[in-house]
Amino acid sequence: MEKGTASGHSRKKERFFLLLVGIVLFLLFLRLFYVEQKNFTDVDQRLKDGRMINLNAGNLAINLSKLLKKGYYFEDQKDIDLIENTIANSVAAGSKFDNIGELNKRRYNVNADDAFNNGGESFKQRVLVSRALLGYTGDDSLRFVQEKSHPPALPSITDVGLDGNDITGKVLNKTAPVPGVLIRLQMILPQDSIYNDNEADLVKTKTEQTPAYKKVYVLDAKGQKHLQSLIAFARTDNDGLYTFKNLPAGKAFEVLPLQPGFQFGKSLGTEELNKDAVFDFYQAPHAIRLLSTRDYSILKKEKAFIIRTPSEFNLWYWIIVIGFFAGFIVTHILLNWKFPSSDQLILPFIMILTGLSFLTLLSLQDPLRDRFFAKDTLVYLAIGFGAMLLILTFNLRRFTADSGFYRMFIFKNNRKAANGWPWIVLAIILLALTIRFGTGPEGSGVKVNLFGFQPSEIVKYLVIIFLAGFFAVNEKFISEYASWRKRWSFFSFALIAIGATLFLFLVLGDMGPAMIICFTFIILFSFSRGDFMFMALSVVFYVIITWIFKNVWLSGGLTAAMLLIVIVVKRKQLSESAIMALIVIAGFLTIDKIPHLDKLIPGPVQRLVERKAIWQDPWNNEVYGGDQVANGLWAMSGGGVAGQGVGEGFAKTIPEAHTDMILPSMGEEFGWAGIVCIFLLFLLYLHRSIVIGRQTGTPFLFYLCAGIGICTFVQEAQQGHCHYRGLLCLFKVTAGHHW
């Protein structure tokens, strides 16, 4: 940005709003501090008499042992001794607990055999239950002892002789093959598929059994055999391989490794074996958690653990508050000194939203037991201020689609690089790496993290930079050519690139960024075509018609008829942006009606169907974790019009209250009035982004500023509307978003 002079531009407006916002926020911080102090009344006394311990205070093993004895949490002294020894051997010097839940995480797990041999009655019972869950139950309940002492010789290839397909696989420990592992295969029959035309006590069965398999047939009245049960075993060879050959076609099978002292994750299988299948397993030591779910819940409910003292929390509380205000004061001073011509409303908007975010994060957490999210957010805020001031030192008007930086210098002589293809290629590469190496919340099937960061947050801005250059270069052709074919020749590349990006997001299961990018592209395209209002009105018309008639197909037909009439009679030109927006919304509503799509891309389709079920009925759906939106709605209704008051809500009971559900958390404390104000602030933020983009005087910077504003607003609208029935579903799954 070009530097101005203080004499030519007064920043009184910004100073006034910052002062006004600062006073209000400071009063709210004072109120929250007072509320939090009420939670500390008995902490010092409980720490002194041993009814509460600080996990970060040192001598944890001894202190925990004394607590468990004093509180009579275990009847058997051996259980307490094992817990004490485990903690003493696992706590690293200088390590700190981030939250009390870390005490019951993998780091402090107890080897199952050690727990059974050295623990008391509680540990022994938990190990027996855990072994049963690993497969040592029913007819195989005695196999644990057999495998440990005298494992029977079994082939690595078991042929059951039923002239069908094969199931193969391997067992690995990280990358090394594991030989000698017993593999159990079991045919699964639904209860109504079991053949029986006689009374239960007259059923005739025939069993064929070898050391490697057991087949049970039921004989009908004509003496014909019907397979009712099949259990087969194999043992991995030196390469960790196993095979079950000639299995009956069309049947369901479950495969599970069994080895004393180890676990292999959940069983794998197929509902219908119509072709050869491969199932690989990974070996890990069999371990159980340090505390049972029941014991940990009791200790947590009684608030027996803390990770920081009240004085430590109070110190960091005021460091965060002072750091928050100092950041905005310093930024205002620098803007007034070096960049007086910069926008005067953006900084107050950011201050309000960031302040509300800090207040909510401080209110959500248990001050003595939870992770200090506000401390992390303060670091990110400082990084944000630094990045903003650094960018202001550059003359951004030189940043165009023809600049060397935009073409990544490597492609500065490549004329087509002005279209932005290097940026979208970089985004696609990041997504591909996430698909290959990414991780996500355990059991969710979603990949959101890559080497410790969330690439989706970077990809969103890479796509915006790509779109800014693309529309800046092609805006004239897209807007002026009346022929749809001519326009298609120019914008087809962007459509294909965005489509590929969305598909990769669907494969990852990360729906939130996919929807944000999709609608950002459509809105920017409507800007280039000059038909934003027509597109917006078409979407509103479709939503209203769908709400009235409760029929997706009827509302789609009526909306298509309306578009056709308006385009033919009045506009005389096609509105691609309106069509794309309606296709996206209708696609979500009808995703489960498209035949064979669930076979082509089963994972993404299933997740979309689940989110549709949540959207249609947040109170009564069968989706695992589908009560999240209902919890959010309940919290917002509890807030009423004016809210419960800062620090007075119970939003911490909402799943993912600090990320996906931060808006309902705010709604409970600040009420519907607060939520409306937040949406208005984001709407004003979007307006200022577009105004600033226009003031730059360059198409590239206009689309860049507008794209950032639209992306931020869509993300907020997406998160907020999912908590109001009849609008959007729960697509917001990006972790760690605190504004």
Domain contains 138: no
Region of 720 please: left (phi>0), alpha (psi -120 to 50) or beta.
Answer: alpha
Listed ranges 303-317, 534-548, 656-670; the one with the highest mean pLDDT: 303-317
Per-residue pLDDT, 659: 67
Q: Are residues 403 and 358 in the same domain?
A: no
Q: Are residues 525 and 629 in the same domain?
A: yes
Cβ contact 396:469 at 8 Å? no
Q: Are residues 601 and 627 in the same domain?
A: yes
| Model confidence band, residue 292 (pLDDT cutoffs 50, 70, 90) | very high
DSSP string, 106-144: GGG-EEHHHHHHHS-HHHHHHHHHHHHHTT--GGGTTHH
Per-residue pLDDT, 63: 92
| Model confidence band, residue 577 (pLDDT cutoffs 50, 70, 90) | confident
Sign of CA dihedral 33, 36, 42, 48: negative
Per-residue pLDDT, 735: 31
d(CA 624, CA 291): 25
* Residue 351 pLDDT > 90: yes
Q: Which residue in 122, 89, 147, 138 sits closest to 288, CA to CA?
A: 122
d(CA 370, CA 199): 60
pLDDT in tens, 209-225: 898 999 998 887 777 88
Task: Name the percent of the chain lying above pLDDT 90.
Answer: 33
Which CATH number characterizes residue 158's domain? Answer: 2.60.40.10
* Residue 388 pLDDT > 80: yes
Residue predicted with more confidence, 153 or 163? 153
Per-residue pLDDT, 312: 94
> Six-digit token pair at 409?
């210098």
Q: Are residues 298 and 327 in the same domain?
A: no
* Residue 588 pLDDT > 80: no
Least confident span in 22-36, 76-90, 95-109, 646-660 = 646-660
Strands 165-173 and 277-278: parallel
d(CA 33, CA 316): 12
Q: Across all residues in the chain, what is the average pLDDT?
A: 83
Q: How far apart are the first and last CA of the chain?
A: 25
* Residue 436 pLDDT > 70: yes
**Which residue bears the tokens 């002072």?**
322
Per-residue pLDDT, 250: 86
Give burial (CB, 10 Å; 0-12/13-18/19+) of 75.
Answer: exposed
Q: Are residues 702 and 573 in the same domain?
A: yes
Largest pairwise CA distance in the chain:
105
Task: List residues bridging with 288 in a β-sheet.
Answer: 110
Domain contains 213: yes
pLDDT in tens, 616-657: 677 776 666 667 777 777 777 777 788 788 877 776 667 666
User: What integer is the mean pLDDT of 63-73?
Assistant: 91
Question: Which residues, other chains included, contact 149 with Cβ-Cβ below 8 Å and sequence gap of 6+?
Answer: none
* Residue 168 pLDDT > 80: yes
User: What integer is the mean pLDDT of 88-103?
Assistant: 86
**Which residue bears the tokens 């059994």?**
209
Residue predicted with more confidence, 402 or 71? 71
Task: Name the percent of the chain lying above pLDDT 70.
Answer: 86
Q: Are residues 430 and 578 in the same domain?
A: yes
Q: Are residues 214 and 120 in the same domain?
A: no
- Inter-CA distances, 181 with 116, 170, 184, 305, 618, Å: 22, 10, 10, 41, 45
Q: Which residue in 484, 479, 346, 501 sits closest to 420, CA to CA?
A: 501
DSSP string, 342-360: S-SSHHHHHHHHHHHHHHH
Residue predicted with more confidence, 316 or 337? 316
Give burial (CB, 10 Å; 0-12/13-18/19+) of 462.
Answer: buried
Domain contains 693: yes
* Residue 191 pLDDT > 70: no
Per-residue pLDDT, 94: 73
- How many other CB atoms are there within 10 angstroms of residue 141's CB atom? 12
Question: Domain boundary at 216, 251, 285, which?
Answer: 285
Per-residue pLDDT, 650: 73
Least confident span in 211-225, 363-377, 471-485 = 471-485
Domain contains 386: no
* Residue 164 pLDDT > 90: no
User: What integer is the mean pLDDT of 304-328?
Assistant: 94
Question: Which residues, other chains included, contact 558 with Cβ-Cβ below 8 Å and sequence gap of 6+?
Answer: 545, 549
Q: Are residues 440 and 512 in the same domain?
A: yes
| Model confidence band, residue 727 (pLDDT cutoffs 50, 70, 90) | very low
User: What integer is the mean pLDDT of 294-305?
Assistant: 92
| Model confidence band, residue 79 (pLDDT cutoffs 50, 70, 90) | very high
Cβ contact 273:249 at 8 Å? yes
d(CA 16, CA 567): 48
Q: Are residues 644 and 603 in the same domain?
A: yes
Cα 16 from chain centroid? 39
d(CA 581, CA 585): 6
Question: Which residues, other chains included, contact 711 with Cβ-Cβ below 8 Å and sequence gap of 6+?
Answer: 460, 461, 464, 516, 517, 520
- Per-residue b or e along 590-612, where b marks 16 or more CB atoms closer than 10 Å to that residue's CB: ebeeeeeebeeeeebbebbebbb
Q: Are residues 366 and 399 in the same domain?
A: no
Question: Domain boundary at 243, 275, 302, which?
Answer: 302
Least confident span in 90-104, 480-494, 591-605 = 591-605
Q: Which residues span the domain enclosing 609? A: 395-721
d(CA 650, CA 515): 30
Q: Are residues 99 and 202 in the same domain?
A: no
Per-residue pLDDT, 591: 67
Domain contains 253: yes
Number of domains making up the chain: 4
pLDDT in tens, 43-66: 999 999 889 999 998 889 999 999
Per-residue pLDDT, 341: 82
Listed ranges 188-202, 271-285, 583-597; the one with the highest mean pLDDT: 271-285
Q: Are residues 364 and 404 in the same domain?
A: no
d(CA 501, CA 505): 6
DSSP string, 411-466: TTT-GGGGGTHHHHHHHHHHHHHHHHH-B-STTT----BBTTB-HHHHHHHHHHHH
Domain contains 135: no
Cβ contact 475:492 at 8 Å? no
pLDDT in tens, 705-719: 999 999 888 887 765
d(CA 366, CA 370): 5
